[in-house]
Amino acid sequence: MAEATVDRRRLVPRTDVVLADPRLVAAADRLGRAPVKAAVLAAQQRARAGELDPADVAAAAFAALPDTAGGLRTVLNATGVILHTNLGRAALSPAALAAVAAAGAHTDVELDLGTGRRARRGRTALAALAAAVPAAGDVHVVNNGAAALVLTATALAAGQEIVVSRGELVEIGDGFRLPDLLESTGARLREVGTTNRTALADYAAAVGPRTGFILKVHPSNFVVRGFTKAVEVGELTGLGAPVVADIGSGLLAPDPLLPDEPDAATTLRAGADLVIASGDKLLGGPQAGLLLGTSALIERLRRHPLARALRVDKLTLAALQATLTGPTTPTWQALRYDLDALRARTERVRDQLDGVELVESVAVVGGGGAPELELASWALSLPERYAAPLRLGATPVVGRVERGRLRLDLRCVPVERDPDLITAIRAALGSAARAPEKAAAVAPREAAVRPTGDR
């Protein structure tokens, strides 16, 4: 008599048995019972559907859990895009991370410990930003670059006009367009020039009694070539209206590696009354909108009622100050990674893996910064089918696919995570070999579509 077929569903371990696994017990203490139980139920369902061996339910549930109760999973950025918008842009420095952890407790964020009285919120972080850009009369910080622009437009031009070149009315990411953002404040746009050419006379003809300010916007994520003309900030300062420059990428001072990228110090010295920049791009800090300008303008913005709604929390202030005063950031290090050292490191990783090649590659800034800068690099090369297993592993690894090959650039992967990277690749090689038909391509390289430079 033939042996009866065993129903796979009967082999799936009970929920209480899986939850008793020591790894999941520890995870429940760290994350709470509810998310751990949800991960177990999902793994059990996969086993019942035949997607998972019943013996692997506990391991699969554990692998699916986030690193912290915050829900976000730490990802190894092997895309070769230093400021990848989908991966949270700038990775914070160890000093900034330590500052955030300390700021999680009760702090003196608005208290003068000497007098016991209320103090200016985030005064030490603001002082650090002012010290980094001495050309600024005063500084202020809001929660992102778009918020900085909205606050500026509301405080300086609600019911009035903003004079801006047609060639600078950009889309800033996820479908948000600069004209819509500005007009939502009650300001009216006075567009001048054409897409490719705007002259000083165009601005001069538009400025009048209804002008709130003249706006200069750095395109950030695209370049217009050929028959073009633009007006520099310094040329606009004599037209009788405040000049606001949105430089986008957060570069505070000139950098020889980025000669074409505008910086706050130079723009202020050229005559801008106000400069707007992002904190989580080239500065390498937390998401924040940086406002640097004349004392009178900054005070006007700081005292506007909308400033309260856009203010940053103590965690952002702590991370910003540590970024400004602490050691070099991961962003700075990635931009200047020695090419020979990167090749030697990538070779060492490659030598511990089977079927993985070493190839020349190109890295980019991303996040709307330095759109034309390409950095020579090295990468590991695998067949495209390994992209999904790497993303879905216990340690998610995100690379980029080019011409049917998955490339893993170690430039933004902390060197101390190399053992984790090797383990993840080995696991992916085995996983994809067992189920190649279920592998999916990684999200396209951000730089290939010229990333949207969200403010």
Which pLDDT score, from 0 to 100, does residue 165 have? 95
Residue 157 makes CB contacts below 8 A (sequence gap 6+) with 185, 187, 212, 213
Q: Which residue intervals of the chain bear CATH 3.90.1150.180?
A: 76-90+332-449
Q: What is the mean pLDDT of the chain?
A: 90
Q: Which residues of 218-237 are buried (b: 16+ CB within 10 A; e: fewer)?
A: bebbeeeeeeeebbebebbb
Distance CA 448, CA 51 (A): 34
Which pLDDT score, from 0 to 100, does residue 71 have? 76
Q: What is the CATH number assigned to the segment(s) 94-327?
A: 3.40.640.10
Distance CA 141, CA 132 (A): 14
95-109, 372-386, 431-445: which has the minimum mean pLDDT? 431-445
Which pLDDT score, from 0 to 100, does residue 266 have? 97
Share of the chain above pLDDT 70, in %: 92
Strands 161-165 and 188-192: parallel
Distance CA 44, CA 55 (A): 10
Q: What confidence category does residue 195 fall into, taking pLDDT thresholds of 50, 70 and 90?
A: confident
- pLDDT per residue as tens digits for the range 264-293: 999 999 999 999 999 999 999 999 999 999
- pLDDT per residue as tens digits for the range 85-110: 999 999 999 999 999 999 999 999 99
pLDDT (average), residues 236-253? 93
**Topology (CATH level 3) of domain 76-90+332-449:** Aspartate Aminotransferase, domain 1 (3.90.1150)
Which pLDDT score, from 0 to 100, does residue 449 have? 33
Task: Report in angstroms the alpha-carbon separations of 454 from 220, 254, 280, 433.
Answer: 9, 22, 10, 38
Residue 383 has φ and ψ, to the nearest 5°, of -60, 150
Q: What confidence category does residue 413 fall into, taking pLDDT thresholds of 50, 70 and 90?
A: very high
CB 163 within 8 A of CB 137: no
Distance CA 99, CA 84 (A): 23
| H-only helix segments in 174-294 | 178-183, 200-206, 233-236, 264-269
Q: Residue 453: is its pLDDT beyond 80?
A: no
Q: Residue 415: is its pLDDT beyond 60?
A: yes
Helices 33-48 and 22-31, packing angle to 10 deg: 140
Which pLDDT score, from 0 to 100, does residue 416 have? 96
Residue 219 makes CB contacts below 8 A (sequence gap 6+) with 167, 168, 170, 371
| 3-state SS assignment for residue 433 | helix
The helix (H) or strand (E) run that includes residue 390 is helix 387-391
Which pLDDT score, from 0 to 100, does residue 6 have? 58
With tokens 């895309």, the residue in question is 79
Distance CA 377, CA 393 (A): 25
Q: Which residue intervals of the chain bear CATH 3.40.640.10?
A: 94-327
pLDDT (average), residues 157-169? 94
- pLDDT per residue as tens digits for the range 106-160: 999 999 999 999 999 999 999 999 999 999 999 999 999 999 999 999 999 999 9
Which pLDDT score, from 0 to 100, does residue 224 have? 75
Which pLDDT score, from 0 to 100, does residue 444 have? 42
pLDDT (average), residues 233-258? 93
Which pLDDT score, from 0 to 100, does residue 225 have? 75
Distance CA 254, CA 256 (A): 7
| H-only helix segments in 258-365 | 264-269, 295-303, 305-309, 314-325, 330-335, 339-350
Tell me whether residue 409 is exposed, middle or buried, using C-beta atoms within 10 angstroms of its C-beta: 0 to 12, 13 to 18, 19 or more. buried
Share of the chain above pLDDT 90, in %: 76
Which pLDDT score, from 0 to 100, does residue 446 have? 40
Which pLDDT score, from 0 to 100, does residue 303 have? 96
Which pLDDT score, from 0 to 100, does residue 455 have? 55
- pLDDT per residue as tens digits for the range 304-363: 999 999 999 999 999 999 999 999 999 999 999 999 999 999 999 999 999 899 999 999
